[in-house]
């Protein structure tokens, strides 16, 4: 077993504001064009996303209908495995970006009808152990829901400096079971594109590593640059759910990651409807890359580019317009 003390932590993040009320589609959800494909992607209905974080506020009005199950792997609440309460706020924020319900109040997530499996791997102070994370990944990979549901996406907005072979193996096993594993790149960036910063598990080639952009398509100056970055998504001033039934605006690659996790829930539904079968993890990844648009930065900063879920459709519309008018 790995040392339980602070082997891995929440990627540092900054809380800009906390609000008691919000009634809007957040800017990040709009920026990645999620609403444009809600109908085709069935708002993520039937897709289970496992969220490995600090837990969740289970009775938050925007999240209570999205949680299909959960488990606590930390020492919080005396290690009771059935309590996965969020005493930090980070996990609740991430969960809201992925799948906050469209309930005519509060915020709306990227995939507002997806289901969330909440796996608490970080304690109230934001620290945890690789052992907890490994067990949670294995749990997610083996989990079956009440109606035979399986986890299709694992979302991890966390990281540490160590390359842990057992963690890498657990991720490889999950990917072999066709689960897409989405991980934050990290916030150790120095604002220079010619330097590289690595955090794990984001730097493993098997995961989908997510960098952060601003809402006006600039590279976030804190976002890690490295040769394993796959895509970039909004991660600055991101509004989502918060503990106490509230809402907060936060910045970090932790906030970019759930945009991609929610996007995959939509794309899995859309693509599997088109193909008439279950997709492999490689096909899920390919579907995401097809909907990514370069912003003009180095590949080590933005990977394949900004996630734009309606990009292919907009290209087809443009080509049809040109064919008809020129």
Q: Is residue 2 in a domain?
A: no
Catalytic-labelled residue, pool 157, 254, 300, 301: 254
Domain harbouring 223, CATH code: 3.40.50.200
Q: Is residue 281 in a domain?
A: yes
Residues 212/223, Cβ–Cβ less than 8 Å = yes
Q: Is residue 122 in a domain?
A: yes
Task: Count the Cβ atoms, other than its own, within 10 Å of residue 162.
Answer: 14
Predicted local confidence at residue 316, as pLDDT: 63
Task: Kindly state the tokens that stand for 177.
Answer: 């079971």
In terms of residue numbers, what domain contains 305? 8-325
Catalytic-labelled residue, pool 53, 62, 86, 230: 53
Q: Is residue 50 in a domain?
A: yes
Taking the C-alpha atoms of residue 129 and residue 139, their distance in angstroms, rounded to an integer, is 16
What's the structural domain count of the chain?
Answer: 1
Q: Is residue 3 in a domain?
A: no
- Angle, alpha carbons 55-61-65 (nearest 5°): 75
Whole-number Cα distances in Å, 105 to 29, 123, 246 = 16, 29, 12
Q: Is 254 a catalytic residue?
A: yes
Q: Is residue 1 in a domain?
A: no
Per-residue 3-state assignment (H helix, E strand, C coil) for 53-98: ECCECCCCCCCCCCEEEEEECCCHHHHCCCCCECCCCHHHHHHHHH
Q: Is 292 a catalytic residue?
A: no
Nearest to 180, CA basis, from 287, 103, 87:
287
Burial of 9 (0-12, 13-18, 19+ CB in 10 A): middle
Give the pLDDT confidence of 105-164 residue by residue, as tens digits. 899 999 999 999 999 999 999 999 999 999 999 999 999 999 999 999 999 999 988 899
Give the pLDDT confidence of 139-148 residue by residue, as tens digits. 999 999 999 9
Return all residues near 64 (Cβ < 8 A) that are at least 6 apart.
Answer: 58
Catalytic-labelled residue, pool 60, 62, 90, 230: 90
**pLDDT above 60: residue 240:** yes
Nearest to 238, CA basis, from 10, 11, 17, 12:
17
Give the pLDDT confidence of 29-64 residue by residue, as tens digits. 999 999 999 999 999 999 999 999 999 999 999 999
Task: Kindly state the tokens that stand for 90.
Answer: 């980070």
- pTM for the structure as a whole: 0.94
Q: Is residue 190 in a domain?
A: yes
H or E element that contains 315: helix 311-325
Predicted local confidence at residue 317, as pLDDT: 62
Q: Is 90 a catalytic residue?
A: yes
Taking the C-alpha atoms of residue 247 and residue 228, their distance in angstroms, rounded to an integer, is 32
Predicted local confidence at residue 140, as pLDDT: 98
């Amino acid at each position: 077993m790995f040392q339980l003390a602070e082997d891995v932590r929440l990627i540092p993040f900054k809380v800009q504001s906390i609000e008691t009320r919000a009634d809007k589609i957040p800017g990040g959800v709009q920026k990645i064009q999620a609403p444009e494909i809600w109908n085709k992607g069935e708002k993520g209905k039937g897709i289970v996303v496992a969220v490995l974080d600090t837990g969740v506020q289970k009775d938050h009005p925007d999240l209570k209908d999205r949680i299909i199950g959960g488990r606590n792997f930390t020492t919080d609440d005396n290690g009771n495995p059935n309590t996965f309460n969020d005493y930090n706020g980070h996990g609740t924020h991430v969960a809201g970006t992925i799948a906050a319900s469209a309930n005519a109040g509060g915020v709306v997530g990227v995939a507002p009808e997806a289901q969330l499996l909440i796996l608490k791997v970080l304690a109230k102070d934001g620290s945890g152990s690789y052992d907890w994370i490994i067990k949670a990944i294995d749990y997610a990979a083996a989990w079956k829901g009440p109606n035979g549901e399986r986890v299709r996406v694992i979302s991890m907005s966390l990281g540490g400096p160590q390359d842990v072979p057992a963690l890498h193996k657990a991720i490889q096993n999950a990917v072999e079971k066709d689960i897409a594993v989405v991980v934050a790149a990290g916030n150790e960036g120095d604002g220079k594109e010619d330097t590289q910063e690595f955090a794990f598990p984001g730097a493993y080639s098997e995961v989908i590593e997510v960098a952060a952009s601003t809402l006006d398509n600039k590279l976030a100056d804190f976002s890690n640059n490295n040769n394993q970055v796959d895509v970039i998504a909004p991660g600055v001033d991101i509004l989502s759910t918060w503990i106490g039934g509230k809402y907060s605006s936060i910045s970090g690659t932790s906030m970019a990651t759930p945009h991609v996790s929610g996007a995959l829930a939509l794309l899995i539904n859309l693509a599997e409807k088109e193909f008439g079968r279950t997709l492999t993890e490689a096909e899920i990844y390919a579907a995401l890359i097809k909907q990514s648009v370069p912003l003009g930065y180095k590949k080590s900063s933005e990977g394949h580019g900004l996630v734009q879920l309606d990009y292919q459709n907009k290209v087809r519309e443009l080509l049809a317009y040109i064919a008809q008018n020129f």
